[in-house]
Every structure is written in structure tokens, then in C-alpha cells.
């Protein structure tokens, strides 16, 4: 491998000749060979947005030359266009402030800008300095949390919410379509009184509505930015008005409304906004786990299970059992939910561990949050396309289970009382007969009364939702 020598305050170090990164990136690469999970590209893109914004704000406030701000902005645009994708090799498991990823961006922007300005990577002195120019008016302690918020906000708004909404809309149209399909209800996994398939599905729709509401409620906190707090939240080495101005620029370049954090000490030392967003994603995971489990249980069979709904048969399920088809989308969805709930634990541990002026669990928190937001969106999309859109009632089976159910006896409570109704249910169950037969044998009702009072379609209440 061809190398060149780069220097930082610790001295010289060899870096790959064809890369723009500098000494601090190289040191991190060598000192943290842990896990292999790279800093998410969403964080790097958020850094590009904030470095461009900071450069332009600095120029406007007279602390950075406009031509320097413009060349920094040009490189940031290249990062956003994906042209420098292999320049960010650092892993998540590094310094807890994310300093090395901040410096990775600073070094790449400075060196690339130097080359764009006609310089050579071998030059001793570069035209743009990673700390003095690219990192001007900044610290890792305010840039990294700013990048966390930009990346998380964009992921939730642009990816997670639209895809959860899509699944919610499909389930809602199925709920409306099947609002009159009367089926047996189950409580404690045991037969209960009837409801319609539409009523049952409408509960899932409401769960997703509440989950999305919880997620949307986290956006105002995520939209507050630490930038301008610099090292400990006091704003040392930043020009007056910079924090407000830089948030305006970030809003413009990110395409979403961001504001400067009203309290920079909170914004550096704690990441409750990330904890909050993860909490809402966990709520969605909990809801989706229940929904996917219900759907796979209702579809179980085809001969020996509940089999009241039919779901798409997408692929052979078994390598040994010919013709077997499995509820694979529900399995993927529930695994995703397990991962998201686990991620929430890691995020909670990170969030509770800020010490004094700085939380130093930043990379692990944003890594897990972005994974959760990505997975929930992807899993909803997959479950929607490959399962929910194809849900159909198995009317034969639904009718059979409904007519066989002993809990239709509940309709008799107002007419013959709970104790007599229980006698009918127990006799029918013990003797393997129908409720009608048991009721007549006990002399508690006539055939006609049974027809008049035990009507599943009259037992579904008036609640459509």
C-alpha cells in the first residue's frame, strides 16, 4: 500500500496515500479495531450538513473568510452526493464523544478542499486547517450531538413514519373490509364472546396510531441542536448569534425545521431526546410484536391450527417438509421488535450515564437509534407488502369455530342467569354436544328461544372501533 505521512499534535503517522483522511482518523482506525460496525452514513451526512452550515455562519459573522467557507461547503456537498463515501472508515466503538469521527470529517474536508484549491496532499502546509477552519466555533461535544439529532430526525420523518403509516393504512382498509365478518373472540387464549374480524384489526390500527403519535411527539426535542455550546455548553470560542444562525442554516440545508437548543448544558451532557425517541420506537416495537403474533396465530394451520385468516404464501417454508409454508413475515417482524427493544436497553444505559458536562455514550446511542428507526420502517414495509395486503378471512373456518364455541352461552345471561348458562356450557363441553342440545336436555330453553337469543351477529356490540 502506498502511504504518505500526516501529522497531528502527537507527531507523524502514515496514512494510505489515496485517502483524504489525516492523522487523527488513522490513529482511531489503528486504536479501535472493535466490532467492525462503521459510524452510520446518516451521521456522516449530518456532519456534512452541519459543517457547511457552521462554515457559512462563521463567514456571515466575520470569523471565517468567505472563500474558505465556500470551499468547505463544496466538499460537504460532495459528501452529501456520496462522492467521498470510502473516506469515513471509523467504527462506532471509539471515544464516547465521537471526537474521532468529528476529526475524520474535519480532516477529509480540509484535505479535499486543499486539493480542490490546487494543493497537493503531500504539501507540508495545507490551505484549509481541520481544526482552525473546518471545526471553527465548534467542539465534538456540540457537533456530535447535533449530528445525532439531524440524523435521527431525518430518519424518523423520512423513513420510519411513512412506512408505519403505510402498514397502518393497509390494516385500516382490511378492518373496514371485514367489519361484518363475525368470528369468535379469545381472551387468555381461550374462547370468548364474538366480535368481527374488522373490530379485531381496528385495535391494531389504533395501536399503530398511538405509536406514531408517540414518535411524532419526540420530534420537537430532536429538533433542538447543541451546536453553539462548544466544549461544555457555555459557547466558548463562538461568535455572538452563532448558535441561532447555524440552526437556521442547518434547517435550510437539511430541509427540516431545527432550532438552537434552549439549554446547551442539557444538549451536551444528556441525550434524553434520543432516549425519548427510542422509547417511542420501543412502543411501536411492542405494538408490532403483538400484531404480528396475533396474525401468525390466527393464520396458524393450515389443518391443525386456528386458521381463521389466510396470509400470502411467499416461499417454501421447509427444507424437509414438502409443501409447508410458514408465516415468515411475522417471524421477521417479531425478530426486529426484539432487536429494537434490546437497542432501547443499550440506549437507556447510554442515556443514564452522562457524567458532569458531557455524555460519553454518544456513538452507541445514535448507532442503536438509527438501527431501530431503520428496522421498524423496513419491517413495516416488508410486512405490509408481503403479508398485510394479502390478509383474507377463511370464512369456513371462522364459521365453524364460531358455531362450535361454548361462549355464545354468554348471550343467555340476561334471560336465564349466569348460573344456568354455566350449567349449559359445562354440560355441552363434558358431553361433547352443542349448546342447543345441552340447553334443551336441561329443560332451560326451547329450540325457538335458543334461536331467538343465541345470535352471534347480535353479540358484537355497537363498537366499530
Ligand X SMILES: O=C(O)C[C@H](O)C(=O)O
Footprint of ligand X (CB under 6 A): 97, 99, 139-141, 231, 358
Which regions of 323-435 does DSSP assign to beta strands (E)?
Answer: 392-393
Q: How far is the CB of 135 from ligand X (least distance, A)?
A: 8
State the catalytic residue, choosing from 114, 188, 223, 271: 188
Q: Is the peptide bond before 111 cis (omega within 30 degrees of 0)?
A: no
Q: What is the CA radius of gyration of the chain?
A: 30
Residue 355 annotated as part of some ligand binding site: no
Residue 256 annotated as catalytic: no
**Residue 45: CB minimum distance to ligand X, A:** 20
Helices (H) and strands (E) in the chain, counts: 18, 8
Active site residue 73: no
**What's the closest the beta carbon of residue 95 comes to ligand X, in angstroms?**
7
Rounded Cα gap, residues 85 and 83, in angstroms = 6
146 known ligand binder: no
Is residue 319 marked as binding? yes
**Least Å from the CB of residue 7 to ligand X:** 18
Q: Is 326 annotated as a binding residue?
A: yes
| Helix/strand/coil for 315 | coil
Please say which residue, 270 or 398, places its beta carbon nearer to ligand X: 270
Residue 306 and residue 202: Cα distance in Å, rounded? Answer: 20
Burial class (CB in 10 A: 0-12, 13-18, 19+), 415: middle
In terms of CB distance, is 292 or 358 closer to ligand X?
A: 358
Q: Which residues pair with 358 in a beta bridge?
A: 355
130 belongs to an annotated ligand binding site: yes
Q: How far is the CB of 232 from ligand X (least distance, A)?
A: 8
99 vs 395: CA distance, rounded Å: 61
Query: In terms of CB distance, is 97 or 334 closer to ligand X?
Result: 97
Cβ atoms of 260 and 247 closer than 8 Å: yes
Question: Looking at beta carbons only, is 358 or 409 nearer to ligand X?
Answer: 358
The smaller minimum CB distance to ligand X, of residues 28 and 283, is found at 28
CA triplet 122, 26, 268: central angle to 5 degrees? 120
111 is in an annotated binding site: no
| Partners of residue 259 on adjacent β-strands | 224
**Which residue numbers belong to the known binding site for substrate?**
97-99, 129-132, 139-141, 187, 319, 324-326
Residues with catalytic annotation? Answer: 188, 318
**Which residue numbers belong to the known binding site?**
97-99, 129-132, 139-141, 187, 319, 324-326
Amino acid at each position: 500500500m502506498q502511504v504518505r505521512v500526516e501529522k497531528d499534535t502527537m507527531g507523524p503517522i502514515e496514512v494510505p496515500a489515496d485517502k483524504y483522511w489525516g492523522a487523527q482518523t488513522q490513529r482511531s482506525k489503528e486504536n479501535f479495531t472493535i466490532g467492525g460496525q462503521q459510524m452510520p452514513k446518516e451521521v456522516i451526512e449530518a456532519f456534512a450538513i452541519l459543517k457547511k452550515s457552521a462554515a457559512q455562519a462563521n463567514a456571515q459573522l466575520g470569523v471565517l473568510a468567505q472563500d474558505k467557507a465556500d470551499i468547505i461547503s463544496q466538499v460537504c456537498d460532495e459528501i452529501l452526493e456520496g462522492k467521498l463515501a470510502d473516506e469515513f472508515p471509523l467504527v462506532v466503538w471509539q471515544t464516547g464523544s465521537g471526537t474521532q469521527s468529528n476529526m475524520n470529517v474535519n480532516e477529509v474536508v480540509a484535505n479535499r478542499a486543499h486539493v480542490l484549491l490546487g494543493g497537493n496532499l503531500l504539501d507540508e502546509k495545507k490551505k484549509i486547517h481541520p481544526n482552525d477552519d473546518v471545526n471553527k466555533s465548534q467542539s465534538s461535544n456540540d457537533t456530535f450531538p447535533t449530528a445525532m439529532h439531524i440524523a435521527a430526525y431525518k430518519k424518523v420523518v423520512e423513513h420510519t413514519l411513512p412506512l408505519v403509516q403505510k402498514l397502518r393504512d393497509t390494516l385500516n382498509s382490511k378492518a373496514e373490509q371485514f367489519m361484518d365478518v363475525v368470528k369468535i373472540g379469545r381472551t387468555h387464549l381461550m374462547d370468548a364472546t364474538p366480535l368481527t374480524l374488522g373490530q379485531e384489526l381496528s385495535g391494531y390500527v389504533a395501536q399503530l396510531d398511538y405509536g406514531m403519535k408517540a414518535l411524532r411527539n419526540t420530534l420537537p426535542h430532536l429538533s433542538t441542536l447543541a451546536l453553539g455550546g462548544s466544549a461544555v455548553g457555555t459557547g466558548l470560542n463562538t461568535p455572538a448569534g452563532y448558535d441561532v444562525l447555524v440552526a437556521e442554516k442547518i434547517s435550510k440545508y437539511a430541509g427540516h425545521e431545527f432550532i438552537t437548543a434552549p439549554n446547551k448544558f442539557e444538549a451536551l451532557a444528556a441525550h434524553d431526546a434520543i432516549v425519548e425517541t427510542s422509547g417511542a420506537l420501543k412502543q411501536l416495537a411492542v405494538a408490532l410484536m403483538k400484531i404480528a403474533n396475533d396474525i401468525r396465530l390466527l393464520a396458524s394451520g393450515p389443518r391443525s391450527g386456528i386458521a381463521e385468516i389466510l396470509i400470502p404464501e411467499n416461499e417454501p417454508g421447509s427444507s424437509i417438509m414438502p409443501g409447508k409454508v410458514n408465516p415468515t413475515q411475522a417471524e421477521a417482524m417479531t425478530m426486529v421488535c426484539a432487536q429494537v427493544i434490546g437497542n432501547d436497553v443499550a440506549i437507556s444505559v447510554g442515556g443514564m450515564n452522562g457524567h458532569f458536562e458531557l455524555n460519553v455514550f454518544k456513538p452507541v446511542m445514535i448507532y442503536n437509534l438509527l438501527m431501530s428507526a431503520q428496522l421498524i420502517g423496513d419491517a413495516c414495509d416488508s410486512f405490509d407488502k408481503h403479508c398485510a395486503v394479502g390478509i383474507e378471512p377463511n370464512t369456513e373456518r371462522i364459521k365453524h369455530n364460531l358455531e362450535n364455541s361454548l361462549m355464545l352461552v354468554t348471550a343467555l345471561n340476561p334471560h336465564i342467569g349466569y348460573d344456568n348458562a354455566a350449567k349449559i356450557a359445562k354440560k355441552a363441553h363434558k358431553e361433547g354436544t352443542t349448546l342447543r342440545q345441552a340447553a334443551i336436555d336441561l329443560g332451560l330453553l326451547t329450540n325457538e328461544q335458543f334461536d331467538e337469543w343465541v345470535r352471534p351477529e347480535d353479540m358484537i356490540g355497537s363498537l366499530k372501533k
